[in-house]
Structure 1
């Protein structure tokens, strides 16, 4: 039996508040990353469409650059959606973030300076696997 000092509605404990605060900061971090990656994808795509031809004469490399920007933009939007639809799913958010960084980032570097960034060749498919893993993690 409760006395008059026992509240009818339990208050949240500091650990519950801390978990909520951490969860919100993670969600905000992924939201911010999605926005930054989305904005940079638009800028990179514009550069690829207008400025890249001056340094890279190969149309196939320019197309690869455009594909990387396209994937980055799509997955930026997916990261934003995942942040709202499944805020507890850090695995999906981490995989999308890593995938965009590795896949698109390695393609950009390899197109801009293939000799210097040759070592990034194996990173591109790993980034693609992370993007696929993000979709699977989001599904479950």
Structure 2
């Protein structure tokens, strides 16, 4: 990997993902309902995105802190962005970007691969 990709970089990325997850969770609790017209499916997408972002961010922080696999850290980061990111977009704009739903399965596979890479 490139020399600028370090555990310290993933630590900082994890901190940003954690902070944004808290902010997005707060928005989901206080500002999302009027925007999505109380659509429970879209609210559920948002909540799932926040949950996966936060759980996998904690794993990323732990892995970066412990000096675990950079590949695993990269897969977790990309998986969070693809999986949770696509769910956020689908919750906010379900018809505007119809192809974004294709990112979630790939993101999920990256998350699984990230966890497995950390185990090796």
- On the 8 A contact 1:41/1:69 being kept in 2, the answer is yes
Give CA deviations for 1:28-75 in whole Å, capped at 9, x if unaligned: 110000000001001001101110001112112101101100110111
Check whether the contact 2:45–2:90 (CA below 8 A) recurs between aligned residues. no
The runs of at least 4 aligned residues of structure 1 exceeding 6 Å deviation read 22-25
TM-score (normalised: structure 1): 0.79
**Residue 97 (structure 1) shift:** 0.4
Question: Aligned Cα RMSD in Å?
Answer: 1.6
Higher helix share: 2
Q: Conserved in 2, the CA contact under 8 Å of 1:103 and 1:128?
A: yes
Q: Mark the runs of 5 or more structure 2 residues left unpaired by the alignment.
A: none
2:113 alignment counterpart: 133
TM-score (norm 2): 0.92
> Structure 1 residue aligned with 2:52, among 71, 74, 93?
71
Higher Rg of the two aligned structures: 1
Distance 2:82 2:96 in 1: 16
Relative contact order, higher structure (CA 8 A, sep 6+): 2
> Which sections of structure 1, spanning at least 5 residues, go unmatched?
1-21
Asked whether 1:122 is paired with 2:99, we answer: no
